[in-house]
Structure 1
Amino acid sequence: MNQVFVLLGSNIDKEKNLPTAVSLLRQSCTVTAVSSVYETIPVGLRHQPNFWNTAVLLATPLDAPTLHQTILRPLEQQLNRVRTYDKNAPRTIDADIILFNNDVFDFDHHHIPDPDLLRFPHVAVPIAELAPQMPHPETREPLAKIAQRLLAELTAREGQPVVWKRPDVQLS
């Protein structure tokens, strides 16, 4: 079985869409863990609602392209995801493969591990919650250290918190 870390994010009707996305994943995959929900400031387009993000750990026999095409994209379509020219536009749901086992590879214009894991705290923090000591497949740095570094850098740059846990939101 493949161990796959998927990041879910929403800033349109997020109170409904994020729990629904987790529920849909449970119907089609074995969900072994779900992180806390984190509220995050938007990247790029600032004049939009904050996002809610969560990481989901899946156990699946599917390879990455099949998981992407038969589970994640249909999930996004079911929740009315509209893709626009701006990858930072508001969305009902975003479901991305971040880590696939400890593998490094490319498929369908995607790189695994997702490069955003080394760029954005809204990706690194939820993933690191599920596997803090796991080394990044390329850099070998523990995921918790990546998350701490990115969070500190962006918080200092923004002068305010950029990612915060939502203990009032339960998905599991």
Structure 2
Amino acid sequence: MARIYISLGSNVEREHHIRAGLDSLYRLFGNLTVSRVFESEAVGFIGRPFYNLVAAAETEQPLDQLAHALRELEFAHGRALDAKKFAPRTLDLDLLLYDDTVCEQPVSLPRGEILTNAFVLWPLAELAPDLRHPLDGRTYAELWAAYDKGAQQLCPIVFNWQP
């Protein structure tokens, strides 16, 4: 059984798509542990603010099947087949960690945005403060403590979700 961490984001009908994404992940994995939801400015393009969070789950799915399942969930929730990297999103699901796997295919793990984006690192540090980054070696709490908090503005919001 692998412990996985998935980043969720939306800046199109944010509340609806984050709820729908969590519901879909719950149907796929069962029990989820979720961080708070954060509002953040778009990164890499000018656009409406995003809602972001991280969810943790357990899975027996091999990495390639999991990556495919997450991509299919994005499409099921309105992601365009030709969506650009830095563009508005109905639902963005990024696999951050699959246990302590380090690889480039079928997805890059650990996901690079963990070290560069507050909207990934802060919620991950909430869920797994004592877990160590498989390449950097520091815990996510240590990484968040060292992060330049002025680099990206992030604000926790009130958001209730129940499976």
In the superposition, the TM-score normalised over structure 1's length comes to: 0.88
Q: Which residue of 2 aligns with 1:29?
A: 29
Matched, 1:92 2:83: no
Displacement, 1:73? 1.1
Displacement, 1:16? 0.2
Q: In the alignment, is the contact (CA less than 8 A) between 2:26 and 2:32 conserved in 1? A: no
Q: In the alignment, is the contact (CA less than 8 A) between 2:34 and 2:56 conserved in 1? A: yes
Q: Which residue of 1 aligns with 2:19?
A: 19
Displacement, 1:145? 2.1
Displacement, 1:86? 3.5
Q: Which residue of 1 aligns with 2:141?
A: 144
Q: Distance in 1 between matches of 2:145 and 2:82?
A: 31
Distance change >3 Å, CA 163–CA 151, structure 1 → 2: farther
* Root-mean-square deviation over aligned CA pairs: 1.5
Distance change >3 Å, CA 29–CA 83, structure 1 → 2: same
Q: In the alignment, is the contact (CA less than 8 A) between 1:29 and 1:59 conserved in 2? A: yes
Q: Secondary structure at the match of 2:159?
A: coil
Q: In the alignment, is the contact (CA less than 8 A) between 1:36 and 1:170 conserved in 2? A: no
Displacement, 1:103? 1.8
Give the aligned residue type for 1:99: L
Q: Which residue of 2 aligns with 1:154?
A: 151
Displacement, 1:31? 3.0
Distance change >3 Å, CA 151–CA 129, structure 1 → 2: farther
Give the aligned residue type for 2:143: I
How many residue pairs get matched? Answer: 162
Q: Which residue of 2 aligns with 1:80?
A: 78
Q: Distance in 1 between matches of 2:9 and 2:129?
A: 20
Of residues 96, 104, 127, the one that matches 1:106 is: 104
Matched, 1:51 2:50: yes
- Please list the CA deviations of residues 25-73 of structure 1 after superposition, one character each: whole Å capped at 9, or x if unmatched: 1111133301110111110112x1100011110100012211110x211
Q: Distance in 1 between matches of 2:56 and 2:83?
A: 29
The percentage of counterpart residues that share the same residue type is 27
Q: Distance in 2 between matches of 1:104 and 1:98?
A: 11
The unaligned stretches of length 5 or more in structure 2 are none
Q: Distance in 2 between matches of 1:138 and 1:78?
A: 33
Q: Which residue of 2 aligns with 1:40?
A: 40
Q: Secondary structure at the match of 1:154?
A: coil
Q: Distance in 2 between matches of 1:83 and 1:145?
A: 37
- Please list the CA deviations of residues 98-139 of structure 1 after superposition, one character each: whole Å capped at 9, or x if unmatched: 01102212213x310001101111111111110011111111
